[in-house]
Structure 1
Amino acid sequence: MVSPVTVVKAEGPKLVPFIKATCVYFVLWLPTSSPSWFSALIKCLPIFCLWIFLLAHGVSFLGDRSSARKILAGLIFSSLGDAFLIWQEQGYFSHGLLMFAITHLLYSSAFGMKPLNPRAGLVVGVISGISYALLYPYLSGPFTYLVGVYAAIIGFMAWRAIAGLQLTNDLWTWTQLSACLGAVLFIMSDLAIAVNKFCFPLPYSRAIIMATYYAAQMLIALSAVECQDADVARKIA
């Protein structure tokens, strides 16, 4: 098993553009009250950099790993979702919801169905159900059903990410842990969005939402490079 320090040394330089783009977003902190294509670009730029992060591993890497291709496709749909959410007050929130639903389906497919781990599925299902039940009184119109479907989809994605993490007998890998943490942070980000939009204003909502979102996407992108563990170890040794 490759150590986290080894992974940081190998993958860290490839993440520098993402880190810089994320800093640009938080430094500029463009007002959401004036949506524009420039603000959409700044918001999407860190995700564009994660495309580059995966592409930097080579065409053969993506060609050999269907999971990496699915995560790259998920990042592309995420960018579309981010752009739609820039104009959510103009009626594009549901469009963004759809893009992220597709993203989570792609991530779920990338994580796979083995091991099944029904216990993890039960726990995630209960948490998702409770979250939706708490949101339900505040929902109206199509969002009553759209939010429910979305909660089920992101819950399924989280189940598949968590199910792959085997903490016993030292069977876990850093990429499994990365996928698991990324999925949990994605749920936290989306739950903050839902509470802030449908229930009540959440203090520091935008900072919480975007910090957890970018961290989640970075961790999920990192989870795509597991097949290079052995090569990484040889290069760093």
Structure 2
Amino acid sequence: MVSPVTVVKSEGPKLVPFFKTTCVYFVLWLPTASPSWFSALIKCLPIFSLWAFLLAHGFSFLGDHSSARKILAGLIFSSLGDAFLIWQEQGYFVHGLLMFAVTHVLYSSAFGMKPVNVSAGLVVTALSSVSYMLLYPYLSGPFTFLVGVYVALIGFMGWRAIAGLQLANDLWTWTKLSGCLGSVLFIVSDLTIAINKFCFPVPYSRAIIMATYYAAQMLIALSAVKCQEAEVARKRT
């Protein structure tokens, strides 16, 4: 099994641009009241850096791993969603919602359908249902349907990520753990958005949303990398 030190040494340098651009976002902390292409760029830069992170492993890596290609595609749609949400008060919230819905479909496909892990699916379904029932009284119009579909999609994505983490059988890997943690943080981020937008103001909502979102995307991007294979290859050379 690959140790955390091995993961850090192997993938850490490639993530430096992500950490730097994330710091830029939080340092500048551009006001959301005056959306602009510059603020959209600053918000998207960390995700662009994750594109670069995956591309840094080479086109042959992406060609050999369909899950990595799907996660890269998910990051691209996430960038579009981030840009739309900059102008959410101008009527582009639904556009952003749809882009992230596509992202969750791609991530679910990347995580795969094996193992099924029915118990994890039942737990996630129950939590998703409770979340939607709590949001439902505050929803109206098309959001009643759209939020329900979105909750189902992100819940499905979370199930597929969690299902792959088999702790009991000692079959887990750091990449699967990254995907699992990333999916959970993504759900926390989106649930905070929903509560803040539809229910009531959440204290420090923007900081919570963006911190969990960036961490989620980084962990999901990291889950695409087969660190164990890289380690074996280094030992052979």
* TM-score over 0.5 (shorter chain): yes
For residue 232 of structure 1, what is the aligned residue in structure 2?
A: 231
* 8 Å contact kept, 1:67–1:111: yes
Q: Distance between the aligned counterparts of 1:233 and 1:31, measured in 2? A: 47
Structure 1, unmatched stretches of 5+, are: none
* 8 Å contact kept, 1:2–1:230: no
- Higher deviation after alignment, 166-175 or 83-92: 166-175
Q: Deviations over 1:184-211 (max 9, x none)?
A: 0000000000000000010000000000
Q: Distance between the aligned counterparts of 1:212 and 1:32, measured in 2? A: 18
Q: Distance between the aligned counterparts of 2:72 and 2:168, measured in 1? A: 30
For residue 2 of structure 1, what is the aligned residue in structure 2?
A: 2
Q: Deviations over 1:42-99 (max 9, x none)?
A: 0000000000000000000000000000000000000000000000000000000000
**Residues matched between the structures, number:** 236
Give runs of aligned pairs for residues 185-204 of structure 1, distance below 5 A.
185-204=185-204
Q: Distance between the aligned counterparts of 2:96 and 2:194, measured in 1? A: 13
1:122 maps to a residue whose letter is L
- The secondary structure found in structure 2 opposite 1:168 is coil
For residue 26 of structure 2, what is the aligned residue in structure 1?
A: 26
Structure 2, unmatched stretches of 5+, are: none
* CA-CA distance at 1:236 after TM superposition: 8.1
For residue 170 of structure 1, what is the aligned residue in structure 2?
A: 170
* CA-CA distance at 1:232 after TM superposition: 2.7
Q: Deviations over 1:134-180 (max 9, x none)?
A: 00000111001100000000000000000000002321000110000
TM-score of the superposition, structure 1-length normalised? 0.98
Q: Which runs of 4+ in 1 moved over 6 A?
A: none
TM-score of the superposition, structure 2-length normalised? 0.98
Q: Deviations over 1:102-148 (max 9, x none)?
A: 00000000000000001100000000000000000001110011000
* 8 Å contact kept, 1:7–1:232: no
% identical equivalent positions: 82
- The secondary structure found in structure 2 opposite 1:170 is coil
* CA-CA distance at 1:4 after TM superposition: 1.2
- The secondary structure found in structure 1 opposite 2:165 is coil
For residue 64 of structure 1, what is the aligned residue in structure 2?
A: 64
Give runs of aligned pairs for residues 52-201 of structure 1, distance below 5 A.
52-201=52-201
* CA-CA distance at 1:230 after TM superposition: 2.8
- The secondary structure found in structure 2 opposite 1:169 is coil
* CA-CA distance at 1:234 after TM superposition: 5.3
CA RMSD of aligned residues (A): 1.2
- The secondary structure found in structure 2 opposite 1:57 is coil
* CA-CA distance at 1:229 after TM superposition: 1.5
